[in-house]
A and B are shown apart, each in its own frame.
Chain A
């Protein structure tokens, strides 16, 4: 089975721009969760999508949004980029909701740099 894939792997944007990241889960997985990883804050939960619906949301501003398609692929959008948004964005998939499934499988991440 193919693992979780994320595109693009690297992005460079400037302040004020917006960006869309994509995540394709493992086949058969219906949940996709997104995380932001920074050296200072570690991994922080952004949100989780299951069956095209946002089920859980972390403590991030409304500039961070996402969606999930019928094939379980998910996109994350960040509008009006700020320097502090520079981070590694990880997505993870699981068969059911992350809180119910016994584990998540992570993608390689998208490295976003905001200049």
Chain B
């Protein structure tokens, strides 16, 4: 069974517009961490944002913010004012037990 599901394999957005990437996950634990990672074409994976499950407030990092719905086990990423440099593969990740689980990724293209 898929632990982390990203239902949008590919997305595109016009430069300066807003886009939301979806992610759902499966766990019976009450406290955990959720992450969004970005992998640009150069392949270096970098952390975009993280959310601690016990915190109700949605994490925000500059133009990146999340919509964390714990009961629905949903963790979407919103990118505001999209820039060309945001073009990348985005992975939702989740820690369960002592392992990281990654979704299959969403390929985001920002169109000039």
Contacts and interface: CB of A to CB of B under 8 A. Distances in A.
18 contacts: A33-B100, A42-B91, A42-B105, A43-B105, A56-B97, A56-B99, A97-B98, A98-B100, A99-B95, A99-B98, A99-B99, A102-B50, A104-B47, A105-B47, A106-B37, A106-B44, A106-B46, A108-B44
Question: Nearest 4 A-B pairs (CB), nearest first?
Answer: A99-B98, A106-B45, A43-B102, A42-B104
Judged by DSSP, the binding face of B is strand
Contacts of B45: 90, 92, 106
A99 B91 contact: no
Interface residues of B, number: 22
Contacts, number: 56
Interface of B: 33, 35, 37, 42-47, 50, 52, 91, 95, 97-105
B111 to A, nearest CB: 23
A66 interface: no
A112 B32 CA distance: 33
Contacts of B103: 42
B43 A88 contact: yes
Given A102-B50, A103-B50, A106-B46, A43 B91 contact: yes
A108 B52 CA distance: 26
